[in-house]
Chains A and B, each alone.
Chain A
């Protein structure tokens, strides 16, 4: 295998493994802000205990996220040196800003968040939680700006093969950026909400700490109820942005070969795309639907993949299927959330076993959808690193393939060890449940969790 393919495989593996962790922590930080706000406002012990429990889960993911994130920043130099050298003037400041503003907010105030309860005032503690949440989202801001620039480069001029900056505002707020960022942030919030909901459901099914996890579940579904519909809307905007700025990518995502000249383009619901023959096998199509989705008109024109020479096309099978599964998960989440809303309205949320079981089952799907979305975005950008301007084959470092083969093997072994230990310890922390012993700092509403568990009705909790 050549160094290009190996470098791509390595970057894919390391990114996919890394993104699992920030996806959860970005969303969970928001959840913790919500919980601590309620604690400070009501001074009910329940909220304090909730914070302490969920922050443990947060901390494990945060730690793994930070160490795996450092790898990515190194890989631009170790594996994609020629890309980095060409784009540094535009691209590198975004990475630097990410390191400065976001990472540090997180890593600095995280200490206070976890260890600082008895050492700082409640206000300072709450501020730390908020700053960690802001830092986590800001981190996404810069990374998404950098990635969106690779999708739709702007604010530069090309001089002797190097990208020189003309305006940073244009480079950051490039055409793909707004939907790129919102889509990722919402994905994080949604994934975290359903992860928390799934864990809470597991405890509720076991009838362990019902009041505690009923509250956790309500808050998580409250978050999901706002996010899940928004995500569908943003997804639609994103599709239009891709159609406008990266037509080859959209055509590959939709396995759309021929530009429609008369009448609308059909939406391919199912197919096995064949890149050799430029056709879809076993396809099931919905007439005019693709035109409606991407142009919001019945007969709108959607450019087909045949308009692009074969060497400029992304892999159709991969982008087509990763995109479809991701969208399906998004709608599944929306449906579950709506059902949850009905149950909550009827006051039966925490004692409908089927619903709780489904929440447990769909828990990993948010993470899966995030990874699939990234695969769609990145594989869909191929064969370019900078869309239409710099080829992936011209982007890698001048190193021997053996180097990369070695590091891939190392990463795979490492990630297996880390992944296994991570699962083991997360489950262990979760199984031990909330710790009800340590004293609550400051004034608070008297505890009596046991009576609360037994007597509190759904209405009160809601």
Chain B
């Protein structure tokens, strides 16, 4: 594997880490209005309090890594997706600030709403970004040359809604893991309905993507890729089946792990349908990559920092393992 592919995998890893980690934090935000009372809302907040900030920080890592390794993707995509990306940031800010201020507030209503709205805005604009990315970007000489609303189409609206369902699934299975009693019972029901919705959306994506852009199919079917890619839908179906079975059995851990695998299979399946392009329809990873010296220099940092970061993130999840009570944990 050459340096370019090492970096492709690294950026890919950071993106999926962000998606699943902040995915469940955002999912808890999306499920926030369904909590019965203030005590239950506190329980939801406390379930993600020690980890949400670190989860969100993967987006910073991802942005920095993308800028350093594939600057063309970073510059073209970010100017093309100006509105959805900044809307995503506004959502993140809103959620973050609501999180910080809610705990100190006596009138929690407005911050509850802000926490939910921020999570919803961040989620749906991430979905728009995904849909727009898969739809291709209009370019002229290494620069974005399209309009301000190119990102908005039926396909990107669908991916926006699909991501809401997906994050609800991550959030609810995480709550199953971290809570007890009423909140957990509700999370089981929420996980079931989210899983139904996600199954539906995965079906729609599987049919619509090839109709939307035939080149996806030809890349999927190209040799030798065709011998490998069937793994992803099979993995997705297996994970989804496991999820439903264990939701019915009221398992606490396996639903969360299964939904991780659902995300992973969808993500890898899409990657396999795009490779070797990084901006559709015509920019390959070799067109977009940075200077070799830059890749090497940054790789040093990543190979030292990433294992350490992963180790202590696992450590901090270990420290804050187990069920969360309703007592004031935050601050």
Q: Tell whether A425 pairs with B75 under 8 Å between CB atoms, given A67-B93, A88-B67, A165-B293.
A: no
- Among B48-56, B157-165, B221-229, which stretch is in contact with chain A? B48-56
**Interface presence of B238 (CB below 8 A):** no
Please tell me if the beta carbons of A108 and B316 are within 8 angstroms of each other in the complex.
yes
Contacts of A103 in B (CB 8 A): 57, 60-61
Contacts of A67 in B (CB 8 A): 56, 92-93, 96-97
Residue of B nearest to A67 (CB): B96
**Interface presence of B68 (CB below 8 A):** yes
Distance (whole angstroms) from the CB of B48 to the closest CB of chain A: 11
Q: Tell whether A115 pairs with B329 under 8 Å between CB atoms, given A406-B83, A410-B86.
A: yes
**Interface presence of B282 (CB below 8 A):** no
Q: Name the interface residues of A9-56: CB closer than 8 Å to any CB of B.
A: 56
Contacts of B104 in A (CB 8 A): 60, 425, 428-429
Please tell me if the beta carbons of B63 and A108 are within 8 angstroms of each other in the complex.
no
Which range contains the number of A residues in contact with the other chain? 35 or more
**Interface presence of B241 (CB below 8 A):** no
Contacts of A414 in B (CB 8 A): 90, 93-94
Please tell me if the beta carbons of B72 and A85 are within 8 angstroms of each other in the complex.
yes
Q: Tell whether A77 pairs with B83 under 8 Å between CB atoms, given A84-B71, A103-B60, A165-B297.
A: no
Please tell me if the beta carbons of B143 and A70 are within 8 angstroms of each other in the complex.
no
Q: Name the interface residues of B144-166: CB closer than 8 Å to any CB of A.
A: 144-145, 147-148
Q: Tell whether A68 pairs with B86 under 8 Å between CB atoms, given A82-B143, A100-B305.
A: no
State the CA gap A71–B331 with chains docked (Å).
Answer: 25
Could you say which of B59, B67, B297, B331 contacts A70, with CB atoms under 8 Å apart?
B59
Distance (whole angstroms) from the CB of B312 to the closest CB of chain A: 5
Q: Tell whether A66 pairs with B64 under 8 Å between CB atoms, given A77-B75, A81-B79, A421-B97.
A: no
Please tell me if the beta carbons of B50 and A60 are within 8 angstroms of each other in the complex.
no
Q: Tell whether A399 pairs with B144 under 8 Å between CB atoms, given A92-B68, A107-B53, A112-B316.
A: yes
State the CA gap A71–B94 with chains docked (Å).
Answer: 12
Contacts of A104 in B (CB 8 A): 54, 57, 61, 305, 309
Contacts of A77 in B (CB 8 A): 63, 67, 74-75, 77-79
Q: Tell whether A70 pairs with B92 under 8 Å between CB atoms, given A88-B67, A100-B305, A107-B54.
A: yes
Q: Tell whether A70 pairs with B89 under 8 Å between CB atoms, given A120-B319, A425-B101.
A: yes
Q: Tell whether A96 pairs with B86 under 8 Å between CB atoms, given A63-B97, A82-B143, A84-B75.
A: no
A71-90 interface bits toward B, Cβ cutoff 8 Å, 1 = contact, 0 = none = 10110111001101100111
Residue of B nearest to A171 (CB): B297
**Interface presence of B306 (CB below 8 A):** yes
Contacts of A398 in B (CB 8 A): 79, 143-145
Residue of A nearest to B118 (CB): A67
Q: Name the interface residues of A277-305: CB closer than 8 Å to any CB of B.
A: none
Contacts of B71 in A (CB 8 A): 84-85, 88-89, 92
**Interface presence of A400 (CB below 8 A):** yes
A386-410 interface bits toward B, Cβ cutoff 8 Å, 1 = contact, 0 = none = 0000000000011110110011001
Contacts of A235 in B (CB 8 A): none
Please tell me if the beta carbons of B99 and A399 are within 8 angstroms of each other in the complex.
no
**Interface presence of A246 (CB below 8 A):** no
Please tell me if the beta carbons of A89 and B294 are within 8 angstroms of each other in the complex.
yes
Could you say which of A63, A111, A428 contacts B50, with CB atoms under 8 Å apart?
A111
State the CA gap A67–B65 with chains docked (Å).
Answer: 18
Q: Tell whether A399 pairs with B82 under 8 Å between CB atoms, given A67-B92, A114-B331, A116-B319.
A: yes
Q: Tell whether A421 pairs with B90 under 8 Å between CB atoms, given A99-B63, A100-B64.
A: no
Summarize B's interface: helix, strand, loop or mixed.
Answer: helix
**Interface presence of B105 (CB below 8 A):** yes
Distance (whole angstroms) from the CB of A81 to the closest CB of chain B: 4
State the CA gap A421–B86 with chains docked (Å).
Answer: 22
Please tell me if the beta carbons of A403 and B82 are within 8 angstroms of each other in the complex.
yes
State the CA gap A400–B59 with chains docked (Å).
Answer: 26
Residue of A nearest to B75 (CB): A81
Residue of A nearest to B143 (CB): A398
**Interface presence of A173 (CB below 8 A):** no
Residue of A nearest to B86 (CB): A407
Distance (whole angstroms) from the CB of A74 to the closest CB of chain B: 6
State the CA gap A406–B148 with chains docked (Å).
Answer: 11
Q: Tell whether A78 pairs with B86 under 8 Å between CB atoms, given A84-B75, A89-B71, A119-B319.
A: yes
Please tell me if the beta carbons of A81 and B148 are within 8 angstroms of each other in the complex.
no
Distance (whole angstroms) from the CB of A124 to the closest CB of chain B: 9
Q: Tell whether A89 pairs with B290 under 8 Å between CB atoms, given A103-B61, A108-B309.
A: yes
Contacts of B72 in A (CB 8 A): 85
Q: Name the interface residues of B283-329: CB closer than 8 Å to any CB of A.
A: 290-291, 293-294, 297-298, 301-302, 305-306, 309, 312-313, 316, 319-320, 329
State the CA gap A414–B54 with chains docked (Å).
Answer: 23
Distance (whole angstroms) from the CB of B168 to the closest CB of chain A: 23
Please tell me if the beta carbons of B331 and A96 are within 8 angstroms of each other in the complex.
no
Residue of B nearest to A104 (CB): B309
Contacts of A107 in B (CB 8 A): 53-54, 56-57
Which of B64, B147, B312 is packed against the most chain A CB atoms within 10 Å? Answer: B64
**Interface presence of A134 (CB below 8 A):** no
State the CA gap A64–B294 with chains docked (Å).
Answer: 31
Please tell me if the beta carbons of B96 and A71 are within 8 angstroms of each other in the complex.
no
Residue of B nearest to A87 (CB): B71
**Interface presence of A4 (CB below 8 A):** no
Please tell me if the beta carbons of B298 and A97 are within 8 angstroms of each other in the complex.
yes
State the CA gap A65–B222 with chains docked (Å).
Answer: 47
Which of B94, B302, B330, B331 is packed against the most chain A CB atoms within 10 Å? Answer: B331
Contacts of B99 in A (CB 8 A): 63
**Interface presence of A101 (CB below 8 A):** yes
**Interface presence of B76 (CB below 8 A):** yes
A160-188 interface bits toward B, Cβ cutoff 8 Å, 1 = contact, 0 = none = 00001100100000000000000000000
Distance (whole angstroms) from the CB of B268 to the closest CB of chain A: 24
A sample of 8 inter-chain contacts (CB < 8 A) reads A59-B331, A66-B56, A81-B79, A99-B57, A99-B63, A103-B61, A104-B309, A397-B82
Q: 8 tightest A-B contacts by CB?
A: A77-B78, A88-B71, A99-B64, A96-B64, A67-B96, A397-B79, A92-B68, A81-B75
If A97-B298, A110-B53 are given as contacts, then 15 extra A-B residue pairs at C-beta distance below 8 Å, sorted by A number, are A63-B100, A68-B93, A73-B67, A74-B86, A92-B294, A93-B301, A97-B64, A99-B60, A100-B302, A104-B61, A104-B309, A111-B316, A400-B148, A402-B148, A403-B82
